[in-house]
């Protein structure tokens, strides 16, 4: 992540309730007292990519969350609470995203939430990344994302076919209806672009 990207994210983390409420829904996904979740500023392959940031307040000074080292060097109890809050809010956001996926696609994709401080996930960038589905290794996040996009499309088309099967067994399916469902199958992967 570049410095300018981090600066942009810091701006969201610094926003007050009132300022956050003015953000368009294409930017702000959700917020709590302690965290803010925004859509990825530079999304590449799918519409379910979010960043959950700890909000900078008088209780959480900016220099304490400059990076993981500064957080851990801060008051231990407070730092612990920050980490716990991020984990709790990430769980809430994860459930919201899961519901959204089921509504839109009829299946749920495993969810990874990347959080600040950046140093927490930066070491990940130096190690090989593994596809959760087929165990293939990838040297960079863009390569993994590209691969996951294909996995997603396969999953979406499988879900659409299952839906089609359920339709044709539950009622007397006419050829016309089948043709319509096939169109759905073809359209499904494009919706996530």
| Residue ranges in contact with Zn ion by CB under 5 A | 131, 133-134, 136, 151
User: Least Å distance between CB 156 and Zn ion?
Assistant: 15
* Residue placing its CB nearer to Zn ion in the complex, 113 or 131: 131
Handedness of CA 138, 140, 142, 145 (dihedral sign): positive
User: Least Å distance between CB 138 and Zn ion?
Assistant: 9
* Residue placing its CB nearer to Zn ion in the complex, 146 or 184: 146
User: Least Å distance between CB 150 and Zn ion?
Assistant: 8
User: Least Å distance between CB 137 and Zn ion?
Assistant: 10
* Residue placing its CB nearer to Zn ion in the complex, 108 or 165: 108
* Residue placing its CB nearer to Zn ion in the complex, 17 or 128: 128
User: Least Å distance between CB 19 and Zn ion?
Assistant: 40
Task: State the number of CA atoms in the 13 A half-sphere of 176 facing the CB.
Answer: 0
If you write DSSP's letter for every residue of the chain in order, what string do you get?
--HHHHHHHHHHHH--HHHHHTS-TTTEEEE-SSEEEEE-SS--S-S--EEEEEPPBTTB-GGGGSSHHHHHTS-HHHHHHHHHHHHHHHHHHHHHHHHHHHHHHSS------EESSGGGTHHHHHSPEE-TTT--EESSHHHHHHHHHHHHHHHHHHHHHHHHHHHHHHTT--HHHHHHHHHHHHHGGGGG-
* Residue placing its CB nearer to Zn ion in the complex, 134 or 175: 134
């Amino acid at each position: 992540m570049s410095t300018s990207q981090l600066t942009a994210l810091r701006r969201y983390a610094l926003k007050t309730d009132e300022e956050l409420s003015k953000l368009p829904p294409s930017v702000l996904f959700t917020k709590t007292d302690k965290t803010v979740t925004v859509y990825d500023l530079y999304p590449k392959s799918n519409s379910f990519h979010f960043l959950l940031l700890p909000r900078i307040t008088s209780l959480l000074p900016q220099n304490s969350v400059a990076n993981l080292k500064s957080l851990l060097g801060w008051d231990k109890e407070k730092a612990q609470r920050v980490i716990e809050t991020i984990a709790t809010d990430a769980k809430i956001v994860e459930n919201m995203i899961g519901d959204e996926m089921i509504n839109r696609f009829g299946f749920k994709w495993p969810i990874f939430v990347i959080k600040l401080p950046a140093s927490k996930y930066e070491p990940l960038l130096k190690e090989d990344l593994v596809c959760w589905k087929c165990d293939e290794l990838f040297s960079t996040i863009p390569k993994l994302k590209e691969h996951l996009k294909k996995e997603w499309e396969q999953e979406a088309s499988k879900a659409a076919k299952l839906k089609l099967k359920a339709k044709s067994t539950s009622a007397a399916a006419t050829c016309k209806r089948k043709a319509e469902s096939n169109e759905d199958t073809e359209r499904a992967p494009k919706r996530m672009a």
